Amino acid sequence: MNRHHQPRVAVVTGASGGVGRATVRRLAQSGMRIALLARGSTGLQAAADEVRAAGGVALPIRTDVADYRQVDAAAAQAAAELGPIDVWVNNAFTTVFAPFTEISPEEYRRATEVTYLGYVHGTMAALRQMLPRDSGTIVQVGSALAYRSIPLQSVYCGAKHAIVGFTEALRCELLHRKTHVRVTMVHLPGLNTPQFDWVLSRLRRHPRPVPPVYQPEVAARAIERAARRPNRREYWVGGMTVATILANRVVPGLLDRYLARTGVSSQQTGEPASPVRPANLWQPADSPSGWDFGAHGSFDDESHRFSAQEWLSEHRTGLTAGALLTGAAAVATRIARRHR
Cis peptide, bond prior to residue 212, ω within 30 of zero: yes
Residue 108 annotated as catalytic = no
Buried b (16+ CB within 10 A) or exposed e, 115-138: bbbbbbbbbebbbebbeeeebbbb
CA-to-CA dists, residue 201 to 95, 224, 273, 281, angstroms: 9, 31, 9, 10
Q: What are phi and psi of 269, to 5 degrees?
A: -85, 180
- Distance, CA of 225 to CA of 264 (rounded, Å): 33
268-272 and 200-201 beta bridge pairing = unpaired
Q: Are 64 and 37 in contact (CB under 8 A)?
A: no
Phi, psi of 12 (to 5 degrees): -125, 120
Q: Which of 58, 55, 34, 56 is nearest to 46 (CA)?
A: 58
Choosing from 156, 214, 235, 258, which is the catalytic residue? 156
* Residues belonging to the active site: 156
